Structures are given as C-alpha cells and as structure tokens.
Amino acid sequence: MSPAYQTTPRTTPSRYRERAHYDSYTVHRILDEALFCHLGYVRDGGPVVLPTMHVRCGETLYIHGSTGSGPMLGARPAGLPVCVTATVVDGLVLARSAMHHSLNYRSVVVMGTARVVDEDAEKLCALHALLDHIRPGRAADCRTPNTRELAATAVLALGLVEVSAKVRQGGPVDDPEDRLLPHWAGVIPMSLAAGTPQPADDLDPATPLPQYLTGERRP
C-alpha cells in the first residue's frame, strides 16, 4: 500500500466520494501519464486557468514558462496560490439517456502555493525532467540551455501535499427503466498515442531517428 495524502475539506469531493483516491501510487501514475496540466491561479482579482506542461519529481510538481508570463510574475516574492489539475481520458461513456453520458477518466487536483525555483541546479534538473516527461531519453539528446536561455526561463515548484485523485471507470449507469430503450450504450475507449515521427523540413537527412523515438509511444 503506497502512502496516502492527508485529506482536507478542500480535497474532498461533494459528489461521488467513492471515486476519490488519495494514495500516492494513483496520484503519481496520473501525473506521470498526463502530458500536460491546467494551472489555475488568480490574476487581478479573477481566475485564470492555463494549459501547460508539467513533470513530477518525487513529491514535487514542476511547471516552467517565460519569466515574463503571468504565473511566473505573480509568484514573486511570496509564491503563488495555485490549483493544478491533470487529466487522462480513458473512454467515452454513452448511455441510453442523455443525462447519464459521461467520460471515463483519471484526474488529479493539487492545491498549494507554488514557489519560484531560484537555484540553477534544481532549475536545470526540472527542465531536464520536463523534457524526459515528454519523451524519455530526450533530455540527453539536445543542446542544454545556455545562460541566457536559463535566465529567461522560470520554473515553479509545487509540493504534493494537498492532493486528490478521482477515477471514473466502467460502463454507463442508466436508470433501470431506460435499460430496454433501443439506443446503443457502452464505452468507446480513448487513449493518447503518438504517430510516426516526422523529420523537420531542415533536418540533415543523415541524422538518424534515435532509438528512444522508435517503438512504443506514451505512456
């Protein structure tokens, strides 16, 4: 049994509580499989939610962006209160009734105060991990950021402390009186898959496709 995150009033769903999970195994798997997340924060008194890449290193979630971007500016000097969500969609759930259509999904919500990573070593480590999150092996196969690029890039770190996962799986749950209706019902599985690598127009044709880009795709 993996360790569990402590539940708080903020991480307890009002509905379908039985679908909530707080064990680190479930949470880590979702965060590692999701290609990107949504970062929610308050700017000028109103909510903003931005899609962005992320990576989990142990019990820390890292997010990067331009030093001039909203969340990075907002995080100085005291950190930025955020809510980050990451989602993997596993299927379309088609019910006989309109009401009971749904998605099969695995999602994570993380709340907390994100801090700006100031130390170069941690920043570089997070940036490498972000690349490997996109495609394992990539970080070691590209030019490392130079001083100027590093200075223009900000990294936010968010501890996995106040965390919840929610998982919906299985078929549609129609009301008993609808079960004989003549509409098809069931699940259409969904997954995110990478296609065949397409070389850049200006790629030297002598550059071989690296091993780590062949074979199985994400996750």
Q: Which is nearer to ligand FAD, 85 or 153 (CB)?
A: 85
Query: Shortest Cβ distance from residue 61 to ligand FAD (Å)?
Result: 14
Select from 87, 97, 113, 153 the one that contacts ligand FAD (CB under 6 A): 87
Q: Which of 59, 36, 40, 61 is nearest to 49 (CA)?
A: 40
Select from 63, 74, 105, 133 the one that contacts ligand FAD (CB under 6 A): 105
Estimate to the nearest angstrom the gap between the alpha carbon of 156 and the chain centroid. Answer: 14
# residues contacting ligand FAD (CB under 6 A)? 16
Per residue in 161-181, is it b (16+ CB within 10 Å) or e — as a string? ebbbbbbeeeebebeeeeeee
Rule CB under 6 A: which of 7-66 touch ligand FAD?
Answer: 10-15
How far apart are alpha carbons 197 and 209 in whole angstroms?
Answer: 8
The interface region with ligand FAD, picked from 32-40, 68-76, 158-166, 184-192 by CB under 6 A, is: 158-166
For the chain, give the number of residues: 219
Token pair for 186: 């069931």
Phi, psi of 28 (to 5 degrees): -60, -45
Q: Which is nearer to ligand FAD, 13 or 219 (CB)?
A: 13
Select from 35, 103, 131, 187 the one that contacts ligand FAD (CB under 6 A): 103
Site map 159..198 versus ligand FAD, x via CB under 6 A: -----xxx--------------------------------
Phi, psi of 65 (to 5 degrees): 180, 180
Name the residues that contact ligand FAD, by CB under 6 A: 10-15, 87, 89, 103, 105, 107-109, 164-166
